Amino acid sequence: MQDFQYEYPNIEILIERDDVAALYDGVIEGKYDIIFNLPLPGKKKSELKEMVLARYPLYVAVPPQHPFAEFHSLKREQLADEIFISYRQNALSEYDPTQAILADFADVGLMPNINFQHQAIESILLFVALGKGITIVPEYFLPCAPAGINLLFIPLEDSSLPAEVAAIWQEKNTNPAPTKFVECIQEEMPMSLKSIS
């Protein structure tokens, strides 16, 4: 972003935080020129362009007294009997992380017991710390653990869930700034991620 601001000092960058659905709605409606968000698995909008910026491994969050606390890594089959606490998206959202977890587990013939859902990752992690269940989080959520709670994050080895963050913009946007911004990002990215869909 600093390189972009240096090269285009007259372009103003405003950053807003919102949930997955609101960000998608905002870019489709023209409120935002570009968003950084979770890609929509299997539901890509034809009017949107997408470039994956990063891929993150998944972790299982457990309290220290949990039997998994001694494990160095886990597989989905080992989680079959666990109670899950999951992220709940806005009811109008097309992206539902709970459905993604269910589909991922169905791939290995399992149905996770999702007992509780919440929209705030901080609340989910607090419930995990209280021993009310476990959750699966991408690596980028690890710093979100509220201060003062004790959690362990164990790598999940065999999940096929997408843990990606993408730049997403409207192909028909007449503002040249998003395209220039994406070009600037691409120059800094590793070759393995340099594709736009």
Average pLDDT taken over every residue of the chain: 81
The reported pTM is 0.77
Tell me, what's the pLDDT at 153? 94
Closest Cα partner for 63 from 83, 42, 34, 43? 83
* Residue 88 reports pLDDT greater than 90: no
Tell me, what's the pLDDT at 66? 96
Say which CATH class 58-155 falls into.
alpha beta
Q: What is the pLDDT of residues 96-108, one digit of tens each?
A: 566 677 777 888 8
Across 52-66, 75-89, 123-137, least confident range:
75-89
CA distances from 188 to 96, 165, 169, 182 (A): 31, 15, 19, 10
* Residue 193 reports pLDDT greater than 70: no
Highest mean pLDDT among 5-14, 35-44, 125-134, 177-186: 125-134
- 3-state DSSP percent of the chain in helix, strand and coil, to 5: 30, 25, 45
Tell me, what's the pLDDT at 92? 47
Q: Categorize the per-residue pLDDT at 155 as very low, low, confident or very high, splitting at 50, 70 and 90.
A: very high
Same fold, 2-55+163-193 and 58-155: yes
Beta strands in the chain (DSSP E): 34-37, 48-55, 58-62, 83-87, 113-118, 135-138, 152-155, 164-170
Residue boundaries of the structural domains of the chain: 2-55+163-193, 58-155
Across 36-45, 56-65, 116-125, 186-195, least confident range:
186-195
Instruction: Please give the CATH number for the structural domain made up of 2-55+163-193.
Output: 3.40.190.10
* Residue 160 reports pLDDT greater than 70: yes
